[in-house]
A and B are shown apart, each in its own frame.
Chain A
Amino acid sequence: MEPDIKQQLGDILSDYEGDSSELIPILQAAQERFGYLPEEVMAGIAQFLKLAPSAVYGVGTFYAQFKLTPTGKRSIKVCRGTACHVRGADRILQEIERRLGIKPGETTSDLEYSLETIACFGSCALAPVMVADKTVYGRMTPPKVAQILADSN
């Protein structure tokens, strides 16, 4: 493991006791720090919790929140909840896909944007909804997409 990654992981792990029930919060903290879950980080976490690396990997792949490849600087999420679906979320997603040239689950080659879809943000009254980084944008229309992508730059 690179010394820098090792030290950052050590910082994260110092907040935990080493009990296997802490696995998900540790993975969440690691992803927050590294942007995704590098293989050596998952191996380090397995060692710390005295778990098989496969058990950590299994949890990492089970939950939608965890990413195993690097993600972009900006996170663009499109809600595909029912209310958003019936109010045209597909067209918002299409417009973003077209502008960024990527599909959900992908990252632009310059590592600038990652695009994903989310089951529901629970802001259904404002459907359709998208989230750029941590800001929720409601009552979306395809023309508003361009502005939001530009603003987040």
Chain B
Amino acid sequence: MDFDEIRARANSEWQALEKSARPSIFVGAATCGRAAGAGAVLEAINEALTRHKIEASLTQVGCLGLCYAEPLLDIVKPGRPRIHYGNLTPELASQLIEDYLIKDNPHPELALGASGHGTLPDIPRLYELPVLKPQVRIALRNCGLIDPENANHYIARGGYSGLARALEMTPEAVISEVQKSGLRGRGGAGFPTGLKWEFSRRAQGAPKYIVCNADEGDPGAFMDRSLLEGDPHAVLEGILIGAYAIGASEGYIYIRAEYPLAIERLKVALRQMQDYGLIGDNILGSGHSFHLKIKEGAGAFVCGEETAMIASIEGKRGMPRSRPPFPANSGLWGKPTNINNVETWANVSAILEKGAEWYAGYGTEKSKGTKTFALAGKINRTGLIEVPMGITLEEIIYGIGGGIPDGKRFKAVQTGGPSGGCLPESLLKLPVDYDSLTQAGSIMGSGGMIVLDEDNCIVDTARYFLSFTQAESCGKCVPCRLGTKQMLDILEGITGGDGKPEDIDLLQRLSNSIKSGSLCALGGTAPNPVLTTLRYFRDEYEEHIAERNCRARVCPALTTYYILPDKCQGCLICLRNCPAEAISGDKRMVHVIDQSKCIKCGVCLEVCPPRFSAVAKVSAEEIATPTEPVPVRALKPGKDTDSK
């Protein structure tokens, strides 16, 4: 079958779906949609369709990125726009099927927005919403819109036409197209993709290998998972184009085992490609052959590093080695190897489909195109977003993300995972591009973006990242293996109330040694979370050390819970819930926490009825309380408390 035939068949299937006389229903069923309850919503829809004897097509799609509104459901009635509903329960979904499909009431109050042709009264356009308007979806172009297990959906929306175009060009022309687009590696380091390909193209040796890095290890990052779950062919097409450009005949997708659904979707996609002759020998009659295998990771963060990943694919301990030689010349089994990240590959397929100039029209002078981010933490609209490079942090956090929940104050945004840093409020106007973020002491990284509010402790955050890198250090380089341990010990001391004034200097000196004495980027960037927090939030470190004060009241050793004697009504709720049995009291007797037994779990604060609000959590402060339970009445305002 030639590509025109494949495309014609895909188009007719897609048009049949779009112009169908039956309604179409789409449910977001990526990992996070499922965790939010998409499975029960699917069941409820199926049940409602059967009960009302409605003929409709029901499709599971990937992630639209509106994670804050999961589970999501779209309904298209013939001749009507696609209406996107969010925050569904099985009951609401079942009601919607009945009310919209039978009684023609689209429930505008439940709709997020509408897309596609036509409008409906009282329902806004989805892509005009503040969360989507600033976004430009290139890598995520199909996520949440198509059935990721149906190659025809991908092909009908322009898929594989980039590959078809590339196969008619010379490999050198393909590389030059990618160079012209200005695409830089989306795994985080930002190396120019076209240049990397050129090195592999020119390298001597056969066979040549392609590796897709899907070992998304940064905690707080889920862009690659969503992309593979929502549109695997976009990535696979990019890999095929890269293989043709550098002359690779074999390849691997190295994907973490924690992503079972993404692995399954890749396997389905690979089978479909075989059926269409898009992979294997003599692809689309071009004479070019390429074979691709999936390798599951086994839980080692360092394997995201190129040379460690190569060792892992070869079946060894995933430890980095010194470069040069670079993988472009000596990679897998000593052969030329080109490694790019999932998102890079998904951009490649779009660039070859629509051209380098189109792509370079987005972004800034040195950072072209778009970048996906996983927006999470203390933010109203958590989600997966894709924005043009150069957008400011403020536009992302307040425009797209809708700001900080519960009226809390913004403290910092963490970018780049354990290799990145925490940026303060004064840098919210910073444009998001490779060079600006590096200058500010953080990095672009793979795209995790975690918002911290006033309730998060900056020293605790730095300690958290060091505990991660310390555990994930492969142990090869002494400065990384021992240095991260020393840094972690010091940070645990500071958060544990044993900080010393000289600790800050020592942290800085250790940071410099680790950065200069480590082979790979894990050690080379591990001190970044400490260095940026020292640069922008030094006062919080000093408060922990000098005053034993954790202003966010997070560090347990510096935090104390008290039951306020003038507010406690002696209701026994906290006493019964305290896991440490640290609370004494009786009915209508003021309860008292035995501080020597308290494990600082915060359960008392959580369960105390809001109308009493009798539990206080403080740091570097003492509240006078009775030593023994006393009758509630004895402590009405105006009377003396039996304080310690």
Question: A136 contacts which of B35, B226, B465, B579 (Cβ < 8 Å)?
Answer: B35
CB-defined A-B contacts under 8 Å, sample of 6: A24-B295, A85-B219, A87-B377, A87-B378, A122-B374, A126-B32
For B317, give its contact among A19, A58, A83, A134 (CB under 8 Å).
Answer: A58
| Cross-chain contact A125 with B219 (CB below 8 angstroms) | no
Bound-state Cα–Cα, A27 to B456, Å: 40
Quick check: A126 and B67 within 8 Å, CB to CB?
A: yes
Q: Is the CB of B382 within 8 A of A20?
A: no
B292 shortest CB reach to chain A, Å: 15
Nearest 9 CB-CB pairs, A to B? A125-B67, A64-B299, A82-B220, A122-B222, A63-B298, A81-B219, A83-B376, A120-B219, A124-B376
Identify 18 new A-B residue pairs, CB closer than 8 A, beyond the known A87-B377, A120-B220, A125-B376: A20-B314, A58-B317, A62-B300, A82-B220, A82-B376, A85-B219, A91-B602, A94-B601, A119-B468, A122-B221, A123-B35, A124-B377, A125-B222, A125-B375, A126-B32, A134-B260, A136-B34, A139-B36
Check if B315 is an interface residue, CB within 8 A of chain A: yes
Q: Is the CB of B299 within 8 A of A122?
A: no
Binary contact track B278-309/A, C-beta < 8 Å → 1, others 0 = 00000000000000000111111100000000
Residue ranges of B at the interface with A (Cβ–Cβ < 8 Å): 31-32, 34-36, 67-68, 70, 216-222, 225-226, 257-260, 295-301, 312-319, 374-378, 382-384, 414, 417, 448, 450, 452, 456, 461, 464-465, 468, 472, 474, 579, 599, 601-603, 606
Given contacts A83-B450, A86-B461, A98-B579, contact A126 B35 (CB under 8 A): yes
The closest CB in chain B to the CB of A22 belongs to B315
Q: A122-B221, A125-B382 are in contact. Are A20 and B376 (CB under 8 A)?
A: no
Contact of A82 among B31, B35, B450 (CB under 8 A): B450
Interface core residue of B219, B384, B464, B465 (most chain A CB under 10 Å)? B219
Given contacts A123-B35, A138-B36, contact A65 B257 (CB under 8 A): yes
A84-112: contact bitstring with B at CB < 8 Å (1 yes, 0 no)?
A: 11110001001100100000000000000
Task: Give the bracket for the number of chain A residues in contact with chain B.
Answer: 35 or more
Question: Are B220 and A91 in touch, CB under 8 angstroms?
Answer: no
Q: Which listed residue (A21, A82, A123, A124) contacts B314, Cβ 8 A?
A: A21
Instruction: Look across to chain B and name the residue whose beta carbon is closest to the beta carbon of A124.
Output: B376
Contact with B along A111-153 (1 / 0, CB 8 A): 0000000111111111101000010111100100000000000
Q: Is A129 a contact partner of B461 (Cβ separation < 8 A)?
A: no
Interface hub of A21, A86, A87, A91 (most chain B Cβ within 10 A)? A86
| CB atoms of B312 and A124 under 8 A apart | no
Q: Which residues of A contact B414 (CB under 8 A)?
A: 82
Say if the beta carbon of A3 comes within 8 Å of chain B: no
* Contact in complex: A21, B315 (CB < 8 Å): yes
Q: Inside 8 A of A95's CB, which chain B residues have their CB?
A: 601
CB-CB under 8 A from A28, the residues of chain B are 257, 296, 298
Q: Given contacts A59-B317, A64-B300, A86-B377, are A125 and B450 in contact (CB under 8 A)?
A: no
Listed residue (A27, A126, A127, A139) with the most chain B CB atoms within 10 angstroms of its CB: A126
Tell me the bound Cα distance from A46 to B245 in angstroms. 39
Chain B residues, CB < 8 A from A64: 298-300
Closest to B455 in A: A86
A3 nearest CB across to chain B (Å) = 28
Q: Once the chains are docked, how many angstroms separate the CA of A27 from the CA of B296? A: 11
Contact A122 to B317, CB < 8 A, known contacts A63-B300, A83-B377, A86-B378 = no
Interface residues of A in 50-85 (CB under 8 A from B): 58-59, 62-66, 80-85
Residue among B32, B217, B318, B448 having the largest count of chain A Cβ atoms under 10 Å = B32
Chain A residues, Cβ within 8 Å of B219: 80-85, 119-120
* Across-interface contacts of B300 in A (CB, < 8 A): 62-64
CB-based nearest B residue for A66: B298
Query: Residue of A at shortest CB range from B453?
Result: A86
A30 in contact (CB, < 8 A): no
Shortest distance from the beta carbon of A10 to any chain B beta carbon, whole Å: 20
In the bound assembly, the distance between CA atoms of A93 and B599 in angstroms comes to 14
Contacts A134-B260, A138-B36, A142-B603; A27 near B298 (Cβ below 8 A):
yes
How close is B582's CB to chain A, nearest CB, in angstroms? 13
Complex: how many Å from CA A79 to CA B507? Answer: 28
When chains A and B are docked, how far (Å) is the Cα of A64 from the Cα of B383?
Answer: 28
Contact across chains for B221 and A120 when beta carbons are under 8 A apart: yes
- Of all chain A residues, which has the CB nearest B457? A86
B168 to chain A, nearest CB (A): 35
Q: Is the CB–CB distance between A124 and B217 below 8 Å? A: no
Whole-angstrom CA separation of A126 from B177 in the bound complex: 39
Q: Which of A23, A62, A91, A126 is within 8 Å of B601, CB to CB?
A: A91
For B298, give its contact among A24, A82, A86, A122 (CB under 8 Å). A24
Q: Which residues of B contact A21 (CB under 8 A)?
A: 313-315
How distant is A88 from chain B, measured CB to nearest CB, in Å? 9
Which residues does chain A contribute within 8 Å of B31, judged by CB atoms?
121-123, 136
Q: Within the complex, what minimum Cβ distance (angstroms) separates B642 from chain A?
A: 32
Complex alpha-carbon distance, A94 and B579, angstroms = 10
Q: Find the A residue at minimum CB distance from B556.
A: A90
**How far in angstroms is the closest Cβ of chain B from A33?**
16
Task: Report the nearest A residue to B607, measured CB to CB.
Answer: A143
> Which of chain A's residues have a CB closer than 8 A to the CB of B376?
82-83, 124-125, 127
1-54 of chain A: CB within 8 A of chain B: 19-25, 27-28
Q: Chain A's nearest CB lies how many Å from the CB of B139? A: 16
B345 CB → nearest A CB, Å? 18
Closest to A137 in B: B35
Question: Which residues of A have CB within 8 Å of B606?
Answer: 142
The residues of B that contact A129 with a CB separation of less than 8 Å are 35
* Chain A residue nearest to B579 in the complex (CB): A98
Chain A residues closer than 8 Å to B314, beta-carbon distance = 20-21
Q: A82 and B464: CB pair below 8 A?
A: yes
- How near does chain B come to A124, taking the closest CB pair, in angstroms? 4
